[in-house]
């Protein structure tokens, strides 16, 4: 019998992956496979730039000379050529199961596409699924031959449980033998906020990208009338009369949250991109790659 999983990575999707690999190779022409120039705090490295200090950063790398001139706490970021490990942190909480198509299906396709580009670039790829803690993890290794394992792992995942990004990050760290690029794929619907877990990852030396998966129908369903809204994680139900005014308010609040997340990430030197479920995966991935800082 055919299942929903059969369509998750269909033939058309797989053919687009190969297209992404070819185009990504053109973008990264001249870059050494399996290595990148990163920005790190640390001794004995070539100075690259400053970044504003934030709670959780290592105070040993504060530029005190700059503080004397500017009266601002700045961290010295240094340039370092390094072997790259990419960690995909995939939100598998219950809220990701909502939307049309489900945000979780869109997120899994997104991780598959980006992981394939990383594998083809000979980066070391690891995938970690979480809700309030790590639910499953998979070390893919390097090379395109590992794509089958990545797809099988992603197919096996299911949504469930509440979101707790802070606990999830603490649970993830033992699975990360070395710092690298951490790509957090989530709807970021965590009542406790997103700031502390991202600061924790930066404090541990990770470069970060936040990919926020969104769905318009999930925020403001089509139609008019009395409907029952239920929180996917808490089960709390609320009866509302959905009309054009309320729909616009819901969409405006969702847009405000996305802008807040984006501005905060940019202020910390963290990559950010909104990933609507309506956006074609290949177009989104190419946009992220062309922005720079993801693999090159």
- Give the pLDDT confidence of 142-183 residue by residue, as tens digits: 888 899 999 999 999 999 999 999 999 999 999 898 889 999
What is the band of 75 on the pLDDT scale with cuts at 50, 70, 90? Answer: confident
Question: Check: CATH 3.30.930.10 for 4-34+84-291?
Answer: no
Say how far apart CA 186 and CA 165 lie, in whole Å.
Answer: 10
Mean confidence (pLDDT) of the chain: 82
The CA-atom distances, in angstroms, between 8 and each of 95, 104, 112, 120 are: 19, 11, 10, 21
**189-238, pLDDT tens digit by residue?**
998 999 999 999 999 999 999 999 999 877 766 665 666 666 666 666 66
Query: pLDDT at residue 278 above 60?
Result: yes
Higher pLDDT: 181 or 83? It is: 181
What is the band of 62 on the pLDDT scale with cuts at 50, 70, 90? Answer: confident
- pLDDT for the residue 31: 47
DSSP the chain: ---GGGGTT-HHHHHHHHHHHHHHHHHTTTSPTTEEEEEE--TTSEEEEEEE--TTS-GGGB-HHHHHHHS--EEEEEEEEEE-EEEEEEE-SGGGG-TTTTHHHHHHHHHHHHHHHHHHTT-EEEEEEESSSEEEEEEEESSGGGHHHHHHHHHH----S---HHHHHHHHGGG-SS--EEEEEE----TT-SHHHHHHHHHTT-EEEEEEEE-HHHHS-SS-EEEEEE-TTT--EEEEEE-HHHHHHHHHHHHHHHHHHHHHHHHTT-EEEEEETTS-HHHHHHHHHHHSSS--
Give pTM, 2 decimals: 0.77
CB 141 within 8 A of CB 41: no
CB 138 within 8 A of CB 149: yes
Beta pairing partners, 186: 212
- pLDDT for the residue 80: 52
Q: What share of the chain has pLDDT > 70, as a percent? A: 77
Say how far apart CA 57 and CA 61 lie, in whole Å.
Answer: 8
What is the band of 141 on the pLDDT scale with cuts at 50, 70, 90? Answer: confident
What is the mean pLDDT of the segment spanning 255-271? 95
Domain ranges within the chain, ordered by starting residue: 4-34+84-291, 40-80
Measured in degrees and rounded to the nearest 5, phi and psi for residue 163 equal -85, 130
Q: Which of 10-14, 194-198, 262-266 has the weakest average pLDDT?
A: 10-14
Say how far apart CA 18 and CA 237 lie, in whole Å.
Answer: 44
- pLDDT for the residue 52: 82
Higher pLDDT: 77 or 253? It is: 253
What is the mean pLDDT of the segment spanning 7-15? 87
- pLDDT for the residue 227: 65
């Amino acid at each position: 019998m055919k299942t929903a999983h059969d369509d998750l990575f269909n033939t058309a999707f797989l053919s687009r992956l190969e297209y992404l690999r070819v185009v990504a190779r053109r973008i990264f022409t001249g870059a050494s496979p399996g290595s990148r120039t990163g920005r790190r705090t640390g001794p004995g490295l070539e100075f690259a730039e400053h970044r504003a200090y934030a709670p959780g950063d290592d105070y040993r790398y504060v530029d005190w000379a700059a503080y004397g001139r500017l009266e601002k706490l700045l961290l010295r970021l240094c340039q370092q050529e390094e072997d790259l490990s990419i960690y995909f942190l995939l939100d598998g909480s219950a809220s990701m199961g909502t939307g049309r198509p489900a945000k979780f299906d869109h997120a899994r396709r997104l991780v598959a596409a980006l992981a394939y580009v990383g594998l083809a670039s000979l980066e070391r790829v690891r995938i970690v699924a979480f809700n309030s803690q790590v639910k499953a993890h998979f070390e893919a290794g390097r090379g395109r031959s590992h794509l089958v394992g990545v797809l099988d792992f992603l197919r096996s995942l299911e949504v469930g449980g509440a979101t707790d990004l802070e606990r999830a990050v603490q649970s993830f760290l033992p699975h990360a033998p070395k710092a690298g690029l951490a790509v957090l794929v989530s709807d970021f619907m965590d009542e406790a906020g997103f700031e502390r877990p991202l600061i924790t990852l930066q404090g541990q030396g990770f470069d970060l990208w936040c990919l926020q998966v969104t769905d318009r129908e999930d925020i403001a369903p089509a139609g008019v009338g009395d409907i029952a809204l239920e929180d996917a994680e808490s089960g709390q139900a609320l009866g509302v009369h959905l009309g054009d005014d309320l729909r616009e308010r819901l969409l405006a609040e969702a847009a405000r949250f996305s802008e807040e997340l984006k501005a905060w990430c940019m202020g910390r030197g963290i990559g950010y991109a909104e990933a609507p479920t309506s956006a074609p995966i290949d177009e989104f991935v190419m946009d992220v790659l062309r922005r720079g800082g993801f693999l090159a």
